[in-house]
Amino acid sequence: DVKVTQSSRYLVKRTGEKVFLECVQDMDHENMFWYRQDPGLGLRLIYFSYDVKMKEKGDIPEGYSVSREKKERFSLILESASTNQTSMYLCASSSRENREQYFGPGTRLTVT
């Protein structure tokens, strides 16, 4: 079974803090994705990566950066957290053919 894990299920941070969200997949997938999910808006793509050290901006990259130093790990970084970044963050991975995405359990981030 494909397994995508995220470092935290719940996280509370203060405004201005630097935040790291980690995602690890065990299926040797080339593609990895970070989404945020807000009520009524569906999932919105923040960044994705199709290979180690490669990254592409998604629909809403502002205020975020990513790092992919190893194939199995994809990190989302909030350089200076703000209250409007309070959200559910979902990581996903897929093979190179990109036919189906497998999601992690999500991290619910609250910025106060």
78 vs 92 by CB, closer to another protein: 92
Q: Where are the beta strands (DSSP E) in the chain?
A: 4-6, 10-13, 19-25, 31-38, 42-49, 56-57, 65-70, 73-78, 87-94, 102-103, 107-111
17 vs 45 by CB, closer to another protein: 45
Minimum CB distance to another protein, residue 72 (Å): 17
The binding site for another protein (CB under 8 A) comprises: 4, 9, 35, 40-45, 48, 58, 90, 92, 98-106, 108
Contact (Cβ atoms closer than 8 angstroms) between residue 110 and residue 12: yes
38 vs 79 by CB, closer to another protein: 38
Backbone angles phi, psi at 92, to 5 degrees: -145, 160
DSSP three-state, residue 36: strand
15 vs 110 by CB, closer to another protein: 110
Amino acid making up residue 54: M
Minimum CB distance to another protein, residue 9 (Å): 8
Minimum CB distance to another protein, residue 112 (Å): 20
Q: Are strands 87-94 and 31-38 parallel, antiparallel or unpaired?
A: antiparallel
Minimum CB distance to another protein, residue 81 (Å): 21
